[in-house]
Structure formats: structure tokens, C-alpha cells
Amino acid sequence: MTYTPHTEADIQAMLATIGVDSLDALFQDVPEDVRYPEVDLPEAHSQMEASWVMEDLANANYAAGKTNSFIGAGAYNHYSPPVVNYIIQRGEFMTAYTPYQPEVSQGTLQAVFEYQSMICALTGMDAANASHYDGATSLAEAVLMAYNIGRGKRSKVLMSPGVHPHYREVVRTYMIGFDVEIVGDEGSQVDLDALIASIDDNTALVAVQYPNFFGQIEEVARVMAAAQEKGALGCIVADPVSLGLLKPPGALGADVVVGEGQGLGIPLSYGGPYLGFFATRDKYVRKMAGRLVGETNDVNGKPGYVLTLATREQHIRREKATSNICTNQGLMALASAVYMAAMGKQGLREVAELCYHKSHYAAGLINELPGFSVEMDKPFLKEIVVHCPAPVEEINSHLLGEHGIIGGFDLSSVYSDRTNQMLLAIVETNTKNDIDELVTALSEVAQ
């Protein structure tokens, strides 16, 4: 079949069919002052010339894998074994879409089932879905699930200031139009006692992060217990790499565990696509959004895999859906499954231990620099808060311009009362020499 361009007569015929006399009339409901202005496009390039332009733009970036990087704040430069990229590029898996037809999708369905099983093992929960778009979406879906479980009768959601600020923004956007009050995250100081004191009979969900956004490991188990005592759901936003070493959230009493799975073998990739994992207790499975793969037996008695509890938002009975989320980047779930399978229980623990020891080595050296101090009053695993003698923006400019080092996250950009505070992430890919170079560069600032 060949494509035939529409003639002016064709266009006029189509406009007449829908009852308008011009293309401009299609936009009459959009106020003129918000319509996009005419685009002044540059002269067209050939494919070869366009490739040169894109290469020049790419070369202007500092790639995390080719420089000394210490920025984290939710996206980390963890190592991804080559087997991950090799497997996900196989033709059988090169799709991100939902495997609706089990008779032709057994490989994809089994891979998703294994992913769910490993997430359950990692988090200590009963059931996991086939992932969401990112960690922020997963937390928003947890809030929506809690609201639906309470049938809208509970209208308060408590979130700790230690929950990623971008996640909290997404939750607020998600819940526009719902009769929900989101509180508890005012300011930047994490106070679990105050959070617990705010839980009442109107609370639908209480969310804490583990480790929190500042890298600190808190006693979140007592928050979970306090939430359940009042009939609310307890939600833990977890870092999956840290769970290779820390006690699983399920053992801490969580009703739902969410988080960003980017650290499980998914490269930084300019910010995505990423992977939002979501796990919960069996009794809440029917209120959980997203795809769910189950294992069964076929007519010959052999194991088979299907999308189970399929009366969900992306299938039939959509008017009874608890969420409007439909699909995700299934390839990312596969990548994390390959990573977890390749690393194994001991490998995940070793990664977390390397992060722990390297971050403590860096914290000790930085804390000795004049004008610098590290928050060390709580346990931490791979991120540290550093109080600096100058604005973080200036320090990062010096680190990058003079040493080619990507510095930490400027906490004042999201917490107004945390001026001159830097969040540094030290992971297994940061060598001892990398850390020493960072400390030397920071000492120049101190001088």
C-alpha cells in the first residue's frame, strides 16, 4: 500500500464532514493568548548533518559513567552487569507492552512472574505487581489504594519530610479532585514522634522512606505499628539496593512497599524510563493497580503463566477500576529481574555493603575538613548530608569546572531551610581514588 498525500479538496471534504469550514476553526475553543506561536524552524538538515548536530549536543554532557559523580537523590550510578543489556535486547523481549495473549507470551509472562517473585523476596511482602512508571507513581498509587480501601471515608494522608520531595509533589498532583488532605511533611526535619502523634481515625495512609531522602535509617517499624493501630495503612518507600543489607520492610510491619527500581541494573539514561515497584499484603491485592502475573497449569498439567485478577483497569469492568494506570515500561521490569537473578542474594548484599563502607569512609574524611560537617547522628548507608562553608551551587561549579567532578544534590533547591547543605551519594562504582579526589577538591573550597 502506498501513501497518497491529501489534496486541498480532501481536506475541505473532511472539514465539511465534521462541520467546520477551516482548520483554524478546530482550535476555536483554545484561547488565542495560550495558543502555541508559529515555530521558526531552522533550515532542514540531511540525516548525516542531523547526526553531527546530535553528537555535538551529546558531547556537551558530562556522562556519569565517564566522570567522577556523587549525585544521587533518587537516581544512582550503580553498576549494571553486561548480561542485563544483552538479555533485554533479544528480539523476544523487545516490547514494553502488556502480554495480553498468554498462548504467545509465555516467555514474557514468566519473566514478569519471576520479577514479581524477586520483589516479594526483597521486600518481604506477599504480592507485587508488574511495576509502575517510577517510584513517585508507585507512591501515588499506594495513596490511591489506601483511599479506595477506606472507600473514601478516610481523608488524611501523612507523609514524612524524609520522603523524596518529588514523590510528594506527584502524590499531590495525583490526588487533585479527591477529598484528601496531605500533611505531615512541612519543613525538612524528620520527626517520627510528631508523625505518630498526628495519626488519627481519619488517616488513610502513613508514608515514610527507608533510608530516608537524607540517607538516614530510621525506626520506621514503630510508625507502621502506630498506623495499623488506628486502622491506617503503613507505607514504606524503600531503596531496593539498600534492602540487600537492611531488614525487609515486610518484617517492619509495612502494609505496602513502593520505590524506585532504577538501581537494579537500569542505567541513568537521562532520567528514564525507570521502574516503580509496588508490593503489598495478600488481603489488598484486589485493590492494587497494575498488571499481575500468576502461575497455573495448562491442560497438559505443565506450568503456565497468565495475567490474573484481570478485571482490572486495563481490561474489562474498567468503570470499577481503582486506578487509571494501564501499562508501564515492561522492559525495565525485565532488566531488574535479570539484574537480581545475576547478582543473587549474596551479590545484592555485597553491593549494599560496598555502599555502606565507602560512604562511611567519605563521611569520615569530609567531616575533618575545615568548614564542613557531616550529619552522622543517625545510621546511614549510601548517602550523606554535608553542611558546607559556601553555597552548594558554587561548590559544585568549582568541582565540575576545575576537577571534572559532578558534586552532590543541593538540598536548598527543595528545602528552603537547608541552605549550604549538600546530599552526596557514594555507591559501589565510586572508587577510593574517586573519593580521595573529591575530598581534595573540597579541601580547596575550605581553604
User: What is the mean pLDDT, run by run of 10 residues, along the chain of 447 residues?
Assistant: 66 90 87 80 90 90 84 95 93 70 84 96 96 94 94 94 97 93 94 96 97 97 98 98 97 98 92 93 91 90 86 60 71 94 97 98 97 96 97 96 95 96 97 97 89
C-alpha distance from residue 168 to each of 75, 139, 164, 257 (Å): 16, 8, 7, 15
Query: Edge to edge, what strands does the sheet with 156-159 contain?
Result: 127-128, 276-280, 256-260, 233-238, 203-210, 156-159, 181-183
Residue 309, Ramachandran bin (φ over 0: left; ψ between -120 and 50: alpha; else beta): left
Classified by CATH at the fold level, domain 82-339 comes out as Aspartate Aminotransferase; domain 2 (3.40.640)
In the chain, which segments carry CATH 3.90.1150.10?
64-75+345-446
* 154, three cell numbers: 478516610
The pair phi, psi for residue 185, each rounded to 5°, is: -110, 20
Q: Distance (Å, rounded) from C-alpha 440 to C-alpha 187? A: 33
pLDDT at 5: 55
Tell me, what DSSP letter sits at residue 369?
S
pLDDT at 317: 64
Q: Distance (Å, rounded) from C-alpha 293 to C-alpha 98? A: 11
In the chain, which segments carry CATH 3.40.640.10?
82-339
CA atoms within 13 Å, Cβ hemisphere of 129: 33
Please tell me the CATH code under which domain 64-75+345-446 is placed.
3.90.1150.10
77 within 8 A of 413, measured Cβ to Cβ: no
Q: Distance (Å, rounded) from C-alpha 2 to C-alpha 140? A: 46
pTM value? 0.88
294 within 8 A of 305, measured Cβ to Cβ: yes
